[in-house]
């Protein structure tokens, strides 16, 4: 049984005082919720604040990207070791907004994925097709190329020792991100099943344990039906993660323990 994971992606939102309110509210709202792993990925400047306010709670924290290099003359880049210094558990890798805005390729996403593993960070690797790609019937081949880029990019020691087995994959259809509508649970399930089957041809143990989370307009209203699908192991949550009550309801939907109200 895979333990579900719910991760908030704050994107470029927040500020010191606003974050303080949100982080304190999240720790209060989520206190005692069992059976689910919870994290928030905050903008880099607020990693220290997240560490200070979340340490000792049941909420972990992470970054929204990391460099594909480990150190050196890469102005404005942030390495995996640097975010690890701030106690991060996770880093998002290959989010579609990064792929679109900064032309991050499958190759560079694979490099970032490896850097995260070497830096002791659990990568949450984002994959997903655009609306045009889906309409052209290319959704599975696009996602396949994205997934194979990271698996084929692993060095032999990492592969042989299974050092990537904690890595998470997030299926985020680009057309459902920041949109009015989410993917139907059956549509999302179909792609999650496709990804798990693909990964199993590469490493069956990893495929069985792999946490495959769904992202794209998850709300308190649709979370339960998405999370009840057999291959959906939680969610990556954008807008709704900025509202502590909504985020709590989504985390509750991922918890196997019934919450008494």
Binding site for ligand PEP (CB under 6 A): 9, 172, 177-178, 215-218, 236-239
Burial 35-57 (b: 16+ CB within 10 A, else e): ebbbbbbbbeebbebbeebbeeb
Residues 6+ apart with CB under 8 A from 41: 7, 8, 9, 10, 61, 62, 63, 64, 90, 91, 92, 124
Beta strands in 65-177 (DSSP E): 90-93, 122-127, 168-171
Provide CB contacts within 8 A for 181, sequence distance 6+.
217
Q: Which is nearer to ligand PEP, 123 or 238 (CB)?
A: 238
Sign of CA dihedral 259, 240, 13, 4: positive
Minimum distance, C-beta of residue 96 to ligand PEP, in the bound complex (Å) = 7
Catalytic residues: 95, 172
Q: Which is nearer to ligand PEP, 172 or 231 (CB)?
A: 172
Q: How far is the CB of 22 from ligand PEP (least distance, A)?
A: 16
Strand ranges for the chain from DSSP E: 4-9, 36-41, 59-63, 90-93, 122-127, 168-171, 212-215, 234-237
- Beta strands per DSSP E along 103-255: 122-127, 168-171, 212-215, 234-237
Q: Residue with the closest Cβ to ligand PEP? A: 238
Q: Could you give the angle at the alpha carbon of 65 between the alpha carbons of 59 and 70, nearest 5°?
A: 115
- In the complex, what is the shortest distance from the CB of residue 218 to ligand PEP, in angstroms, rounded to a whole number? 6
Looking at the Cβ atoms of 96 and 106, the one nearer to ligand PEP is 96
């Amino acid at each position: 049984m895979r333990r579900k994971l719910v991760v908030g992606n704050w994107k470029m939102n927040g500020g010191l005082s606003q974050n303080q309110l949100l982080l304190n509210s999240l720790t209060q709202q989520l206190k005692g919720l069992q059976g689910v792993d919870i994290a928030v990925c905050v903008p880099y400047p607020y990693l220290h604040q997240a560490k200070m306010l979340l340490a000792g709670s049941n909420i972990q924290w992470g970054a929204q990207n990391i460099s594909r290099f480990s150190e050196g003359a890469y102005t404005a880049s942030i390495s995996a070791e640097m975010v690890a210094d701030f106690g991060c558990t996770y880093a998002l890798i290959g989010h579609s907004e990064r792929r679109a805005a900064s032309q991050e390729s499958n190759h560079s996403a694979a490099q970032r994925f490896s850097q995260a593993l070497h830096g002791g960070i659990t990568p949450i690797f984002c994959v997903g097709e655009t609306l045009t790609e889906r309409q052209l019937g290319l959704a599975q081949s696009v996602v396949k190329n994205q997934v194979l880029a990271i698996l084929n990019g692993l060095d032999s020691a990492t592969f042989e020792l299974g050092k990537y087995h904690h890595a998470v994959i997030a299926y985020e259809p680009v057309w459902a991100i920041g949109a009015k509508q989410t993917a139907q649970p059956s549509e999302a399930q179909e792609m999650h099943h496709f990804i798990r089957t693909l990964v199993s041809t590469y490493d069956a143990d990893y495929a069985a344990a792999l946490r495959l989370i769904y992202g794209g307009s998850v709300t308190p209203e649709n979370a339960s039906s998405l999370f009840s699908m057999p291959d959906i192991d939680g969610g990556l949550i954008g807008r709704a993660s900025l509202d502590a009550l909504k985020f709590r309801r989504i985390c509750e939907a991922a918890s196997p323990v019934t919450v008494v109200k």
